[in-house]
């Protein structure tokens, strides 16, 4: 496993001073406009993608999305990234990344899987048909290189991104769904995923995912003040426990950026505080979300560099 050390924002220890979090919450209203708040309308054209079904997981009739190509694109085909939103729905984070990815020569497709804050109770298996339909649609576009597809996801979508890197999930999607070549997952609740992976026969369709991860490049970015993680038990690097369950070949292709002082959704448009029973490995608790423009800009650049390296021929 590769741990990037190029940014001063990457954690070497977690913050233990709650006062900094309080200060950031108070200042969030001043910084939010510089993030995704002004970019809720995703760059590109509106598309309506034919749906699909996955036996035992669910089905979707159509998938709305926003497809954008690089401006002035001259190559006959370009790589593309599928963007999966968080549990709050489409909120500007996708646009924040899509704009720069397109500027770097990479097409983007952000889909809408459910209305704001109306996620399915069945969990990520219910939105896997949306991702399958979107990947199939992307690969069929005459301007897209179907051999160089990536996935970028936030929170709910970040968990999906990790799952989509598994052979187990790829098999369930079907042979006609292209296998993405690179994955970037933003704060995917690593503690929760590791917790499920550690329990034999956990009643979840994804419990065997860790043993079947594909050896493809993956970038994970998570803050050291993410309330979904169990820092008290797992230390400053909670995603390490999850990645340790993956095959060695996969670990060697995985990069984790621990962003010191950042909360869950630090690259989002607004500050908020809410209770979630899924926090802290399903133990429940309060979740703080504090926008951080500096961390967001660095995370976005890391995503662009990552996909530029692994998707562009």
Q: How far apart are CA 62 and CA 40, in angstroms?
A: 21
Task: Give the count of beta carbons closer than 10 Å to the beta carbon of residue 12.
Answer: 11
Q: How far apart are CA 9 and CA 298, in angstroms?
A: 8
Structural domains in the chain (count): 1
Cβ-contact 255, 218 below 8 angstroms: yes
Which pLDDT score is estimated for 195?
81
Which pLDDT score is estimated for 23?
41
Which pLDDT score is estimated for 40?
55
Please list the pLDDT of the chain residue by residue as tens digits (313 residues): 544 433 334 333 333 334 444 444 444 434 444 444 444 566 899 999 999 999 999 999 999 999 999 987 777 899 999 999 999 999 999 999 999 999 999 999 999 999 998 999 999 999 999 999 999 999 999 999 999 999 999 999 999 999 999 999 999 999 999 999 999 999 999 998 888 777 777 778 888 888 899 999 999 999 999 999 988 777 778 899 899 989 999 999 999 999 999 999 999 999 999 999 888 888 889 999 999 999 999 999 999 999 999 998 7
Cβ-contact 45, 69 below 8 angstroms: no
Helix axes 128-140, 156-164, angle to 10 degrees: 60
Domain that holds residue 176: 2-311
Q: Which residues pair with 257 in a beta bridge?
A: 221
Residue with structure tokens 């969030």? 28
Q: How far apart are CA 23 and CA 200, in angstroms?
A: 42
Q: pLDDT, tens digit, for every residue of 10-64? A: 333 333 334 444 444 444 434 444 444 444 566 899 999 999 999 999 999 999 9
| Percent of all residues in the chain with a pLDDT value above 70, rounded to a whole number | 87
Alpha helices, H only, the chain: 18-31, 93-103, 128-140, 156-164, 167-173, 190-197, 231-234, 239-243, 248-251, 279-282, 293-311
179 phi, psi to nearest 5 deg: -85, 115
Closest C-alpha among 46, 109, 106 to residue 77? 106
Task: Give the count of beta carbons closer than 10 Å to the beta carbon of residue 308.
Answer: 14
Q: How far apart are CA 213 and CA 169, in angstroms?
A: 9
Indicate the pairing of strand 58-68 with strand 272-276.
unpaired
Q: How far apart are CA 228 and CA 40, in angstroms?
A: 25
Residue with structure tokens 């503690």? 191
Which pLDDT score is estimated for 127?
98
Which helix (H) or strand (E) segment holds residue 259: the answer is strand 254-263
Which CATH number do you get for residue 52? 3.40.50.1820
Which pLDDT score is estimated for 234?
73
């Amino acid at each position: 496993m590769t741990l990037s050390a190029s940014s001063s924002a990457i954690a070497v220890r977690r913050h233990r001073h709650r006062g900094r979090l309080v200060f950031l919450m108070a200042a969030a209203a001043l910084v939010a406009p510089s993030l995704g708040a002004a970019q809720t309308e995703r760059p590109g054209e509106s598309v309506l993608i034919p749906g699909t079904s996955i036996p035992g997981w669910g089905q979707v009739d159509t998938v709305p999305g926003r497809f954008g190509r690089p401006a002035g694109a001259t190559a006959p085909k370009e790589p593309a990234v599928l963007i999966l939103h968080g549990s709050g729905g489409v909120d500007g984070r996708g646009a924040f990344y899509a704009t720069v990815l397109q500027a770097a020569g990479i097409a983007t497709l952000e889909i809408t899987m459910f209305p704001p804050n109306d996620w399915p109770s069945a969990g990520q298996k219910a939105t896997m048909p949306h991702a399958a339909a979107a990947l199939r649609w992307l690969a069929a576009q005459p301007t897209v290189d179907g051999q160089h597809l990536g996935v970028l996801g936030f929170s709910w979508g970040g968990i999906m991104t990790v799952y989509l890197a598994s052979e187990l999930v790829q098999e369930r999607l079907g042979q006609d769904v292209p296998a993405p070549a690179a994955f970037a997952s933003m704060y995917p609740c690593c503690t929760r995923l590791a917790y499920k992976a550690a329990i034999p026969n956990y009643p979840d369709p994804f419990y065997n995912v860790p043993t079947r991860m594909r050896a493809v490049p993956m970038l994970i970015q998570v803050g050291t003040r993410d309330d979904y993680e169990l820092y008290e038990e797992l230390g400053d690097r909670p995603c390490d426990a999850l990645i340790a369950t993956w095959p060695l070949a996969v670990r060697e292709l995985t990069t984790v950026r621990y962003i010191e002082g950042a909360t869950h959704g630090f690259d989002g448009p607004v500050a908020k505080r809410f209770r979630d029973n899924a926090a802290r490995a399903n133990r429940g608790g309060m979740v703080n979300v504090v926008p951080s423009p500096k961390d967001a800009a660095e995370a976005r650049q890391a995503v662009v560099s990552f996909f530029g390296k692994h998707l562009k021929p």
